[in-house]
Amino acid sequence: MNGVDSELVNEARELLGRAGGVVVLTGAGISADSGLATFRSADGWWKNHRPEDLATPQAFARDPRLVWEWYGLRRAAATESSPNAAHLSLARWAIDRDDVTIVTQNVDGLHTRAAESAAQNLGRQDLAGARPLELHGCLFRVRCTACEKRAAHHDPIDATSLETLPTCGSCGRMVRPDVIWFGEPLGPEIGQAFTLAQEAELCLVVGTSAVVQPAASIATVVRQGGGQVIEVNPEPTPLTPLAAVSFRAGAADMVPQLLD
């Protein structure tokens, strides 16, 4: 187990500097420093429901109002939070280099907000690689349960009754959060992420417990292709044994030390 010693920081900075093709894989831990709870933390419970019981198509079919109430609270929490130093440092780095892609399991939109603010500060029009591949969707998009139409949706959710839930702009039927629920297939982003992983020389893994597949395998694929893995997480994970350097530290503290 590694503390945060400066020699390791230098080693990691050197690996990051010379690697061509970098995939950054992030999870809920990167947003913990923005005040958003991870799923598996003790406060990742709500009204005696586990996320695993709410984030399913069955839960939505049974009680859409309850599921929307929970997503409304998560959206409000994400709206009230801000990208932290780790999101911002990653966004600047990915805009600066043209061979970095951020792949996230998070649905909180904080990587996108960091990318927008970094691009603005750097006077850049495009978000480049700082625009994240969102493997599990986004809290700020909805998808129609009837016609499948997707749309951005940022307004607060009124989950007082079925009638107040958001509806489709095209057909008027009920919409659902445009996120991937347990048991649902991932979108095309996962294929793009694996293609990038096959070419990448390095995978920087930040704040994921690496137990949700296939996302965690992105790092394994990079390693199998001869690339290096660097990890930032206060706890060891199943990816720790693969990592050339693993930092037992928080994201907002550690990521800027590696990239700025």
- Give the CA dihedral 138, 142, 148, 151, nearest 10 degrees: -100
Instruction: Give min distance, CB of 62 to ligand NAD, in A.
Output: 21
Q: Do you find a cis peptide bond into 236, omega within 30 degrees of 0?
A: no
Candidate list 12, 24, 27, 97; residue touching ligand NAD; CB under 6 A: 27
Per-residue burial over 105-127, b = 16 or more CB atoms within 10 Å of its CB, e = otherwise: bbbbbbbbbbbebbbeeeeeeeb
Nearer to ligand NAD, 172 or 214 (CB): 214
Query: Which 112-171 residues touch Zn ion, going by CB under 5 A?
Result: 144, 146-147, 149, 168, 170-171
Kindly name the residue from 49, 87, 111, 136 that is annotated as catalytic.
Answer: 136
User: Is position 233 an interface residue for ligand NAD (rule: CB under 6 A)?
Assistant: yes
Contact 89, 206 (CB under 8 A): no
Candidate list 87, 97, 131, 136; residue touching ligand NAD; CB under 6 A: 136
Handedness of CA 189, 23, 240, 4 (dihedral sign): negative
Nearer to ligand NAD, 54 or 168 (CB): 54
Instruction: Please give the C-alpha separations between residue 100 and each of 135, 158, 233, in angstroms, as whole numbers.
Output: 16, 38, 20
> Which residues are bridge partners to 22 per DSSP?
100, 202
Strand ranges of the sheet holding 22-26, from the earlier edge strand across to the other edge: 133-134, 100-104, 22-26, 202-206, 228-232, 245-247
**Which among ligand NAD, Zn ion, none contacts residue 235 (Cβ within 5 to 8 A by kind)?**
ligand NAD
User: Is position 21 an interface residue for ligand NAD (rule: CB under 6 A)?
Assistant: no
Give the other-Cβ count within 10 Å of 190's Cβ: 19
Nearer to ligand NAD, 106 or 228 (CB): 106
Candidate list 2, 40, 154, 241; residue touching ligand NAD; CB under 6 A: 40
Query: Which 96-115 residues touch ligand NAD, going by CB under 6 A?
Result: 105-108
Is 154 noted as a catalytic residue in this protein? no
Residue type, 17: G
Which residues lie near ligand NAD (CB under 6 A)? 27-33, 36, 38-40, 105-108, 136, 207-209, 212, 232-235, 237, 250-251
* Residues involved in catalysis: 136
Interface with Zn ion by CB under 5 A: which residues?
Answer: 144, 146-147, 149, 168, 170-171
